[in-house]
Chain A
């Protein structure tokens, strides 16, 4: 039972010995689908092992408290319970959870015990773990764990947290300030402010978001006591990084740890993490010598899986009356939450480079302060720093348009980098390698019918329609392909940004590609097959892709930040070229020709001028396997590997346009149309690219209109279940019109730029710009996210009450 019987777009019949050409760029149907469509999946929670025990975590019901007593003895009496541990019980051999990104030399790095010791610091911080024979017994026994808490004041407001007398999240650190990180470029901001005609200051809030991968987190650990070896199955984006970090945290030697990421049901950054539950599961498996499993419930995940965003952005721009940007100043307060997790401090720093976006300016000043609060830690969420930056600059560009009387598209046009100026080094110091903002924008405007919609908008305003039409634009770029290792060094990130691939050519001519990337829905198996098939000249069907297991793919830096294709796919390309080079040597020997006299095309080596003298790469593979007649001194293998360190980031870009209808009487916003033109460089599989864009748009629109992690004044998470946190459904989202321009990235052999985050980055400001555009004539210049009916209605009401000239109304 397979999908092979299905005739799909661009698909051709498979056949033995058929050679491939032009796989790259085809809408190949996914190899991944057959298992997923028939329920033959290997999610971590599906893993069943004889003797498996189940873990359940008791979590703090309070945002902040001192633990005065934890007693698990009554839990041990419960039926089915095998063991129960407090933080102290496991403290021997279970260190602090890691933070791999100390963004400054003097960053405050608090201890982060996987099970709390003296204090709990956010609702959901785990204090004890129960081990039982089934998941129901484990959950039941949690009720019997006794904990005495002495409440401590919650720390929730980012500005109050920095006050002299603020209660402290980590009292031993003496401050809630994790770090201050500045960037200065170009002229002094105060000087350009002096000579500016227009100066605008705005405050934007990035609400906390809950990533909501559909598969909850899960971990299974199987120990082999005799040798001290452990296999850790985890719903993770980062099996390789997890292996290193679990070794550091638990002291299990790295070479005794095998980490497997089986089928993983989405991540969006939330599985780019080293979680306490993973470390505890390993520690418990070691202690008991038994296999253990933990699967989070969704509600538990909302408290314990890291959140995204969570920032206050104070943005100031200086510009001429013609709308030319002179300078940009950004002051950022970034909510770290209670602890610094794997890359928590670095997320706003990634954003620091993106505030200037696609615009030219003379001055840029950026300051970020990381702030501890008694809330769930934040970390990477789709786009990770870049959506936040793009939101702020794209919102305030609209304010500049309003202040100068220019059309929002025109104000962007007056400031952006022109296509003939590439490569262009932005004021933040990034070298944008290629792009054509004019072309993407022109295409988007045409598809959208911009002028017609503007005319309709004017007409409806004039006749006093209570349902206002709003039009929002967002032109963006992002930095993908994370990242050149030397850049990561300069940013003080504790690892490199290379990616590994190796290719095994089997005796029958079939091919196994081993990649260090670790997909969770992105279609790597299909795309990597296309890349390898093209370079090797073998059929797409003859390629298998192996990933996500440190035993069989020992080297890798995993999947996040739209790096997989740009870095990992490029590594596959280079490894395949090395295979061809080896095969060429064998083929030349077999054909008694010089290597230079061989042409390689469609999987066939042929002697120039004598096309009958030929060997297919499959024949060469078999000849190499037998090794009866290979060149003197040559190792009998065509296998090759490549570790690729990117020379530069890649810079996708594009233009997104959104039309909304906003009912000024009910506050309801309806997206009427959404058009985007993205330039993600050369496309390997257009079907997969389009799917990635759709998903990204959904998440970005969700931030604009629907989603927010809401806390009460005590630090309880009010939006603590999927029933309270609005993940949009099919009924909440519109049809998207997507299109592309294609300027290849010059910095990698594929010309690819990355697509996973583009939709999310660009859509949030496009939607909010549209909502504000609808209401601007009423005196509204901002609606805080998410733009719920209540917030929209309140913004309209507030503007009407304080209305003077319609220019500056309080948000």
Chain B
């Protein structure tokens, strides 16, 4: 067992974990944060994408011990005081989700894209989301939602995603 300290969606946790425990299982089974689902076992589908220290990672491809000392943001940490992020709003308005299973991962991957590139075109959005599979929407509405969110953020004069929270020293 290994001791880890990790901040998830703003809450600090201290835990003993097996070194082989995947981050996604740590979030789901240990912390009960089931908003992040598992879609595959080959890090192909992206459903379990979260942010670790400000960068999107597939949490089935990261060990919990690798998050030691880090800050994780999941889909459950996006909305603040009842207000959705522009991405969440755009996904809703554009019907960019059907069954919704891929949605947490899509939102987290799209945040990463907009942080890197606040003015993507449709082709850039498609390329950026290549690692996130959806079986319901045909992607068209997802792409439209990400473009809308980028525009909304620009109009608001803020970056599309809040800058990553400070990493605890």
Contacts and interface: CB of A to CB of B under 8 A. Distances in A.
Interface string B3-44: 000000000000000101100010011001111111111101
B99 A266 contact: yes
B61 interface: no
Contacts of A733: 138-140
Nearest to B87: A37
Interface in A404-441: none
Interface stretch (A208-216, A326-334, A576-584, A591-599): A208-216
A8 B93 contact: yes
A697 B138 contact: yes
Contacts, number: 202
Given A214-B39, A215-B37, A731-B126, A38 B75 contact: yes
Contacts of A722: 40, 42, 44-45, 133
Contacts of B35: 38-41
B136 interface: yes
Interface string B64-90: 000000000011101100111000110
Contact count band on A? 35 or more
Given A37-B84, A521-B98, A731-B127, A214 B42 contact: no
B145 to A, nearest CB: 11
B38 to A, nearest CB: 7
Chain B interface helix/strand/loop/mixed: loop
Contacts of B98: 266, 521-523, 691-692, 695
The size bracket of the interface on B is: 35 or more
B142 interface: yes
B136 A266 contact: yes
A265 B122 CA distance: 26
Contacts of B142: 730
A728 to B, nearest CB: 8
Given A298-B42, A521-B98, A723-B44, A694 B138 contact: yes
A32 interface: yes
Interface string A681-707: 000000110111111111100000000
B150 interface: no
A695 B75 contact: no
A404 B40 CA distance: 49
A729 B28 CA distance: 26
B54 interface: no
B3 to A, nearest CB: 19
B161 interface: no
A263 interface: yes
Interface stretch (A42-50, A157-165, A649-657, A658-666): A42-50
A695 B138 contact: yes
Nearest to B92: A33
Nearest to A35: B100
Contacts of B127: 730-731
Given A216-B40, A297-B41, 4 more contacts: A39-B35, A48-B32, A694-B141, A759-B138
A-B residue pairs, 6 tightest by C-beta: A39-B35, A36-B100, A521-B99, A265-B101, A694-B138, A722-B44
13 contacts: A1-B82, A36-B97, A37-B103, A136-B20, A213-B99, A215-B101, A298-B40, A298-B45, A691-B95, A691-B136, A695-B136, A698-B139, A727-B45
